[in-house]
Amino acid sequence: MTIRNILTYPEKSLMQPSAKVESIDDEIRTLITDMGETMFDAPGVGLAAPQVGVNKRVIVYNIHAGNPDDDGSTNEFKALINPEILEASGSIISEKEACLSVVDYSADVKRYETVVVKALNIDGNTIEFKADGILSVIMQHEIDHLDGILFINRISVLKRSLYKKKLAKELNSN
């Protein structure tokens, strides 16, 4: 188990689509374990493989995210391989959505209220489930990463421009 380095915007590889996983081997299993450890260490509620420099269609997420009874001590996560959204409906605003790869920034993002996701689990079995609320947001956010899309691509041009200017100023001062 290794805590991996999380890449941050403007890293170009974050904006590239990820390749489909062809076989679930020891390399993928190790990646998944490392991603789970990295996500909880960060801390975050979801993590996509491109965020740790591996452009493969793999995500992990905290299965207790949004649960008011969770005290944060369990560190249980699930992995989805080659996830895709089959159906989407409704509309919600994900308030103050943030990302481990977009440092020191959050914004309100319009998302679908409910999604149906199909993926492979770590055993290679096809699973399909309905997600709503915070889980729906996590699925959309992480699957966006696999498509080379960051949440800042889903906010207004003005807000994105302000973030980019702020980041450029911080990068130039270092």
Report the predicted TM-score, pTM, of the whole model to 2 decimal places: 0.93
Residue-wise pLDDT for 9-66, tens only, equals: 999 999 999 999 999 999 999 999 999 999 999 999 999 999 999 999 999 999 988 7
Closest by Cα among 116, 130, 113, 125 to 79: 125
Q: How confident is the model at residue 107 (pLDDT cuts 50, 70, 90)?
A: very high
Question: What number does CATH give the domain 12-173?
Answer: 3.90.45.10
Domain boundaries, given as residue ranges, for the chain: 12-173
Q: How many CB atoms lie within 10 A of CB 63?
A: 14
CA distance 37 to 131: 23
Closest by Cα among 82, 83, 109, 80 to 95: 109
Radius of gyration of the chain (CA): 16
Query: Which of 37, 113, 142, 170 is an active site residue?
Result: 142
**87 noted as active-site residue:** no
